[in-house]
């Protein structure tokens, strides 16, 4: 699997470098042990990492964290060099906009601050992280191919997830046995509230506490027997029992929405297709860019795995540790890119 070099990766502060020992080299650029030690200490003092380190007697957690931090430093340097090659500049406005996306992804300013505090991220680190995200976005935009009208129309007509087709708003009750579903129908037809019956007897934990509501769904979003029953039902009609692999359903369609016209969703489809194209192109570009760089890691920290774009610590056979970012991803990044 191709690994995108930076997707919300934290980096260490670059100031205060001292000493001449080198932890890794990326082309002609050295990442010193002083830089690595400073970045590691910042991560290790975060509540989440500190708890794991305290509970580990083998040293494996420390090795993994150190390798993950070094991975971040290398990936950030790779991206910096890629941006330089492609003449990409990042403005304060770019960073501010990226932060707004991060706040939205986290669920608000307070939620983002909780993540930052848990990971012990400094303002400098956060800004560097945001800059990396902007760089990736700009490279992705540069590489994205234009999407013609035929491709947009094809995506609209061949829509397996039903995102652009008609929708139904539906609630249901799921039971293990047919008799239980029939009993639920009897209770509702006798005047009991659907939502109250659902919360009492439904074995679907995802919807039972919400009165059985599944919200608005399109074709392809549910198992075939349920989909067929839902899209053939009239609004307000009680339907069931409907058997599926999950059990027996009692369902009620509470509203419907017709399929939007192509003109109404054309720009949305085009944007999504361009993002997919750019994401695939970015993966190909960055993989080739990494392959052309000479990246070396000091043996005491492990070995460099080019395919994973990561440092594999000595205590692991072949599997690289995840990079150490704990920040959520910005919403506009291509969804098919793995996070490392």
Instruction: Kindly list the domain boundaries of the chain, sorted by start residue.
Output: 22-146+266-312, 166-257
Mean pLDDT for 250-264 is: 88
Please tell me the least confidently modeled range out of 110-119, 140-149, 175-184, 253-262: 140-149
Residue 1, pLDDT above cutoff 80 = no
Mean pLDDT, the chain, as a whole number? 80
For 38, other C-beta atoms within 10 Å of its C-beta total 18
Cut 0.75: pTM above it:
no
Mean pLDDT for 63-74 is: 87
Its CATH class, for the domain covering 22-146+266-312, is mainly alpha
DSSP 3-state helix, strand, coil percentages of the chain (rounded to 5)?
A: 50, 15, 35
The 10s digit of each residue's pLDDT in 274-286 is 777 777 788 888 8
**pLDDT value of position 13:** 33
Give the helix/strand (H/E) hosting 275: helix 262-292
Identify whether the C-beta of residue 112 lies closer than 8 Å to the C-beta of residue 72.
no
Mean pLDDT for 315-328 is: 50
**pLDDT value of position 37:** 87
**pLDDT value of position 317:** 56
Maximum separation of any 2 CA atoms in the chain, in Å: 81
Please tell me the distance from the alpha carbon of residue 117 to that of residue 236, in angstroms, as a whole number: 48
Give the helix/strand (H/E) hosting 177: none
Say whether 166-257 and 22-146+266-312 share the same fold: no
Measured between alpha carbons, how far apart are the two ends of the chain, in Å? 10
The 10s digit of each residue's pLDDT in 9-28 is 333 333 333 334 899 999 98
For 185, other C-beta atoms within 10 Å of its C-beta total 17
Question: What is the radius of gyration, based on Cα positions, of the chain?
Answer: 26
Mean pLDDT for 226-251 is: 93
Phi, psi of 41 (to 5 degrees): -60, -40
Residue 176, pLDDT above cutoff 90 = yes
**pLDDT value of position 320:** 53
The 10s digit of each residue's pLDDT in 114-168 is 888 887 778 878 888 888 888 888 888 888 777 778 888 888 877 767 778 888 9
Confidence of residue 4 (pLDDT cuts 50, 70, 90): very low
Question: In 3D, which of 231, 266, 276 has the Cα closest to residue 157?
Answer: 266
Please tell me the distance from the alpha carbon of residue 276 to that of residue 334, in angstroms, as a whole number: 6
Q: 53-91: b or e for each residue (b if 16 or more CB lie within 10 Å)?
A: beeeeeeebbbbbbbbbbbbbbbbbbbbbbbeeeebebe
**pLDDT value of position 124:** 79
Q: Which residue has the higher pLDDT, 153 or 297?
A: 297
Residue 322, pLDDT above cutoff 70 = no
**pLDDT value of position 19:** 38
Residue 182, pLDDT above cutoff 90 = yes
Handedness of CA 12, 15, 16, 22 (dihedral sign): positive
Q: Which residues contact 62 (CB under 8 A, 6 or more apart)?
A: 44, 53, 56
Residue 268, pLDDT above cutoff 90 = no
Q: Which residue has the higher pLDDT, 95 or 339?
A: 95
- What single-letter DSSP state applies at residue 200? H
Please tell me the distance from the alpha carbon of residue 199 to that of residue 212, in angstroms, as a whole number: 7
User: Looking at domain 166-257, which CATH architecture does it have?
Assistant: Roll (3.10)
Please tell me the distance from the alpha carbon of residue 109 to that of residue 124, in angstroms, as a whole number: 17
Identify whether the C-beta of residue 36 lies closer than 8 Å to the C-beta of residue 23.
yes
């Amino acid at each position: 699997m191709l690994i995108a070099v930076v997707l919300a990766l934290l980096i260490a502060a670059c100031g205060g470098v001292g000493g001449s020992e080198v932890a890794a080299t990326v082309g002609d650029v050295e990442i010193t042990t002083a830089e690595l030690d400073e970045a590691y200490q910042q991560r290790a003092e975060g509540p989440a990492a500190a708890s794991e380190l305290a509970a580990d007697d083998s040293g494996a957690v420390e090795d993994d964290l150190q390798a993950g931090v070094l991975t971040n430093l290398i990936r950030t340097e790779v991206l910096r060099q890629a941006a330089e090659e492609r003449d990409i500049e990042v403005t304060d406005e770019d960073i501010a906009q990226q932060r707004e996306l991060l706040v939205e992804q986290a669920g608000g300013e307070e939620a983002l601050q909780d993540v930052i505090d848990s990971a012990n991220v400094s303002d400098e680190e956060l800004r560097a992280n945001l800059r990396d995200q902007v760089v990736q976005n700009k490279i992705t935009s540069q590489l994205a191919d234009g999407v013609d009208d035929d491709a947009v129309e094809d995506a609209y007509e061949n829509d397996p997830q039903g995102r652009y087709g008609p929708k139904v708003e539906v609630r249901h009750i799921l039971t293990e046995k047919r008799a239980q579903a029939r009993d639920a129908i009897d209770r509702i037809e006798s005047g009991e509230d659907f939502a109250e019956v659902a919360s009492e007897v439904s074995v679907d934990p995802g919807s039972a506490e919400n009165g059985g509501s599944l919200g608005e769904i399109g074709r392809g979003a549910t198992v075939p027997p349920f989909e067929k029953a839902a899209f053939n039902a009239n609004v307000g009609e009680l339907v069931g029992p409907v058997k599926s692999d999950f059990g027996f359903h009692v369902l009620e369609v509470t509203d419907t929405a017709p399929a939007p016209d192509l003109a109404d969703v054309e720009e949305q489809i085009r944007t999504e297709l361009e993002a997919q194209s750019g994401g695939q192109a970015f993966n190909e570009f960055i993989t080739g860019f990494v392959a052309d760089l000479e990246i070396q890691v000091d043996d005491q920290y492990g070995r460099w795995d080019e395919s994973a774009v990561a440092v594999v610590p000595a205590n692991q056979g072949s599997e690289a540790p995840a990079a150490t970012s704990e920040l959520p991803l910005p919403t506009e990044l291509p969804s098919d890119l793995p996070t490392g």
